[in-house]
Amino acid sequence: MKDSVFKDRRRSVSTLLMAILALLNSCHRSDDRVVQGYVEGEFVYVASPMAGALRTLFVLRGAQVQEGAPLFNLENGYEQAARDEAERKVAQAQANLDDVKTGQRPTELQTLQAQLDQARAALVLSQKEFGRQDALSKSGVASKQDWDRARSARDQDQQHITQLEATLETARLGAREQQIVAAEASLKAQMASLDAAEWSLSQKNQSSPKEGLVFDTLYREGDWVAAGKPVIVLLPPANIKVRAFVAQEKLGLIHQGDSVSVSVDGVTEAYEGRISYISPKSEFTPPVIYSQDMREKLVFLVEISFDPKVAAKLHPGQPVDARFKW
C-alpha cells in the first residue's frame, strides 16, 4: 500500500517537473524577430585650436549642458594683447584715410589764401606800373628797357596768382585718388588683422556646440593643453543609437526607416526607434554577441536611431534586444 502511494507521488512529481521543463522550454524558445545588440554613442570632442593653460573648467563630468553653454577657457593674455594692438592699428589707419580725404588743415589753407591775396595786390601794383611805363614809352620819355621790365613784372604776378589758385584748389580737394586707394587698402588690411586677432582670442573660450551630457573631462584647471587636444567629451542625445546584427537571410525584410522596438533590462516598456543605417558589407562574428547560432551566419550591421528624449535614457555599452517587424 505504501509502495503504491509512494509510486503515485513519484509519478505526480515527475509529471509536474516535465510540465515545468516544457514551460521553461517554451519561455526560452527563440524569437527570430529579436536580435541582440548594444547601445553605441558617437562622442563630440571639444578642443581649442590654440594652446594654453586651462584657466577655468565650467562643467563637471555627468552634467547636462545646453547648446552654447560655456565649457572651459584657456589663459589668453597674449591673444588679448594682440587684439588690442590690432584695434589701435585700425584706428590709426582710419585716421590716415580721413586725413587724406579731407585735404590740408584749415591753417594751411588760410596760409595759401593769404599768399594769393598778397599776389593779387602785387598784380594790381605791377599793372599800374606797366600802364605808367607804357604811357611814358609812347611819349618817348621812358626807355624800352623800363617798359620791358614793367611788363615782365606784371606777367610774373599774373602767373604767380594762377599758381597759387591751383595750389589752393588742390589743397581743398585733398590727396590724389591713388593715395586714397592706398589708405583704404591699408585700413582693410588692418581690419583683417583685427578679425584674425579677435578670432584667436575667442578660441580661448569654448562653448558647447550641442545640447548633451558631459561624458568626461580630460584636463584639470592649471593643466597645459596643447593646440587641438580635446578637453571636454560630449555625448549629445542625437548621437546615441543602437547597433544590432541581422542575419543575411533577413536582410531583405528590413528597410531604412522601419520601426524597431528595443528592450532594455530592467525597463518594462520598449523604446521605439527607426532603422537609420544598414551596412552594405557583411560580417562574420559581430562584436559583443557570442551566441553559437550567430557565429555560423553572415550578419549585417544595422543602426537604430531614436528621438533625442528617448535616446537620453540609453547608455553606451548597454546590451539590448531589438525586435524587428518582419
**Which of 213, 235, 257 is the C-terminal boundary of a domain?**
235
Q: What is the DSSP letter of 312?
A: T
Range of the domain at 39: 30-43+236-324
Same domain, yes or no: 87 and 192: yes
Domains in the chain: how many in total?
Answer: 3
CATH of the domain at 214: 2.40.50.100
Task: Please calculate the CA angle 231-235-237 and round it to the nearest 5 degrees.
Answer: 155
Same domain, yes or no: 124 and 182: yes
**Which of 152, 178, 199 is the C-terminal boundary of a domain?**
199
Same domain, yes or no: 109 and 155: yes
Same domain, yes or no: 37 and 145: no
Same domain, yes or no: 228 and 306: no
Is 94 within the bounds of a domain?
yes
Is 3 within the bounds of a domain?
no
Tell me the DSSP string of 103-149. -S-HHHHHHHHHHHHHHHHHHHHHHHHHHHHHHHHHHT-S-HHHHHH
Average of per-residue pLDDT values in the chain: 84
Is 2 within the bounds of a domain?
no
CATH of the domain at 37: 2.40.30.170
Is 20 within the bounds of a domain?
no
pLDDT tens-place string over residues 250-305:
888 999 999 999 999 999 999 999 999 999 887 765 554 545 554 456 788 999 99
User: Residue 16 has what pLDDT?
Assistant: 47
pLDDT tens-place string over residues 133-188:
878 777 777 777 878 888 888 888 888 888 888 887 777 765 567 888 899 999 99
First to last CA, the chain: 59
Same domain, yes or no: 298 and 309: yes
Residue with more model confidence, 215 or 124: 215
Separation CA 293–CA 75 (nearest Å)? 57
Same domain, yes or no: 190 and 272: no
For residue 93, the surrounding DSSP H or E stretch is helix 77-102
Residue with more model confidence, 204 or 149: 204
* pLDDT exceeds 50 at position 306: yes
Residues with Cβ within 8 Å of residue 283, at least 6 apart in sequence: 245, 298, 299, 300, 301
Residue with more model confidence, 325 or 187: 187
Same domain, yes or no: 245 and 306: yes
* pLDDT exceeds 70 at position 12: no
Same domain, yes or no: 64 and 207: yes
Residue with more model confidence, 100 or 208: 208
